[in-house]
Structure 1
């Protein structure tokens, strides 16, 4: 860790010195607060800021950023500064908390790694709240060579166990793109976001039954701090566009908007089993300092989806950006 800290400190020095030289060339009078300098460059030319960050990393390593803990930390820093237009800090802010999880040994906590695998997360869910909250598993395909010969059910759900965002909903014996499924075995989601909990996961494909009601059931994603649910959001689609609404636990709307995801416009009724969902989320989150628990519910039946260590890779900004302060107060205040 000491070597990693020394390497990271060296990267920061290179970046800060390069940024100061760039600011002087633009006529900015020094001294200037670091975050103010970052914000200025972001307004003037975001590409310049990107080049300074990546240039500092390349100078440190004398080449590409390696897939090491130090390399992961520097990649996370570059993403953080570019997307949030400031330096990460030690205050109990939402994004800074995720950054800390992502860039320390906490992301490699065996439990965090275990629940990152969709096959194994069901074992955790079963042990904590019972198997009734799991969607049953039809099969696990463990080898890419088995995909062509596998007899997929006429109606099913297919997704990789080792990542996020990829899913196929098959109905009525629809033709499958087997090349897409086989391609999942080549994916390493760690390389997409440099979240080290994904780095060592074995690529597999999980097949689940397709339940019409649950397939269309809304998701409810709970942010939990030390085993206590604090805030949740739900996603919907309006005219083909994903929209989102945040709520407190009493089902009062919260005005938070994340970059690239519009605010939901329709009124959403409080789920009949919201209390049950809160209880499930809190039980599942009890072993973590901070985690997002994803549930699905049609208002009657609740099922667990995923446990997400770093929401949106830890660096999706709010609009306006200053809203992260109000959001952090709800979480940690």
Structure 2
């Protein structure tokens, strides 16, 4: 079922989800899984990666996940692991958009909220930024804290804030978008890597193993083809991803390689909310075999 064609407005979809917050998580997760994948969710004996993500949402509740899902507080976690140097320089943190003094910000920066996904504003020229629209957008994102969306537990208790980070750019090609390296980690080991390119223009995605062998795998985003060079910093990024993931049964560690330096992006526990389609479909099972569900179902 292509629900996005039926309800084209993202805002309306969010409203509907907010109206349905009273439905228990376990019921809503089963319903959303069926709507978004067309499959019946198996929680008793999950085998697919997507099924295990749903189990993860419902039964594994470690407070450290909430801290690390928070785009501001995760910085403390990264520093505690000895990697403060990979944090993108912070321009400021705010409780509401009215606190931002845009006159003091650099010409290029990134604004994001701590409590959401895809809630980023990239400014490459402050003179062209519509400040009123920016303030309204940021405040509307902050108010989304009560909407459970995909029933992703780790995000439930994040204190909504706005963070402003330095804008990263490649000195060799200042106009190009950065490649986003995402490391799929299980029990502290990196098993697969995906790379997103041209996120805002012609989004493509490649999958690799840890030796940078290209995999004939696609998701809802088409492949870029086997023509992305192995980054010089791959070994360092693998080391960092392994260290940052060692506390969790599964997490995706997002990193950048810019100007011969590693930068931290974020930690993601519920990969694409557990509704991603893989081609071939068997890759869903391949990832599922790597995901060993913990014996202890809850830590709270």
TM over 0.5: yes
Aligned to 1:218: 179
Aligned to 1:103: 58
Structure 1 position 199, deviation (Å)? 1.6
Aligned to 1:125: 78
1:160 to 99, 108, 113: 113
Give yes or no for contact 2:249–2:291 (8 Å, CA) kept in 1: no
Give yes or no for the alignment of 1:292 onto 2:252.
yes
Structure 1 position 280, deviation (Å)? 0.2
1:243 to 204, 212, 227: 204
Aligned to 1:328: 288
Q: 1:182 to 1:65 in 2, by over 3 A?
A: closer
1:317 to 251, 269, 277: 277
Structure 1 position 266, deviation (Å)? 5.4
Cα distance in structure 1, aligned partners of 2:159 and 2:35: 31
Structure 1 position 148, deviation (Å)? 7.5
Moved more, 86-95 or 225-234: 86-95
Structure 1 position 151, deviation (Å)? 4.4
Cα distance in structure 2, aligned partners of 1:103 and 1:239: 32
Q: 1:150 to 1:200 in 2, by over 3 A?
A: farther
1:93 to 45, 48, 60: 48
Q: 1:208 to 1:288 in 2, by over 3 A?
A: same
Cα distance in structure 2, aligned partners of 1:156 and 1:179: 18
Q: Which has the higher helix share?
A: 1
Structure 1 position 212, deviation (Å)? 2.2
SS of residue matched to 1:194: coil
Structure 2 residue runs without a partner (length 5+): 4-18, 293-300
Report the structure number with the largest CA radius of gyration: 1
Aligned to 2:25: 72
Moved more, 166-175 or 266-275: 166-175
Within-5 A mapping of 1:1-333: 65-67=20-22, 71-84=24-37, 85-89=39-43, 90-104=45-59, 106=60, 108-147=61-100, 151-173=104-126, 174-176=128-130, 177=133, 178-188=135-145, 190-213=147-170, 216-237=177-198, 240-259=201-220, 261-265=221-225, 267-298=227-258, 300-329=260-289
Higher relative contact order (CA 8 A, sep 6+): 2
Structure 1 position 236, deviation (Å)? 1.1
Structure 1 position 140, deviation (Å)? 0.5
Moved more, 322-331 or 194-203: 322-331
- Output the aligned Cα RMSD: 2.7
Q: How many residues were matched structurally? A: 268
TM-score (structure 2 length as normaliser): 0.80
Structure 1 position 190, deviation (Å)? 4.5
Note the alpha carbon deviations across 1:176-216, whole angstroms, 9 max, x for none: 33221222221227522221221221221101112322883
Give yes or no for contact 1:129–1:284 (8 Å, CA) kept in 2: no
Q: 1:135 to 1:189 in 2, by over 3 A?
A: farther
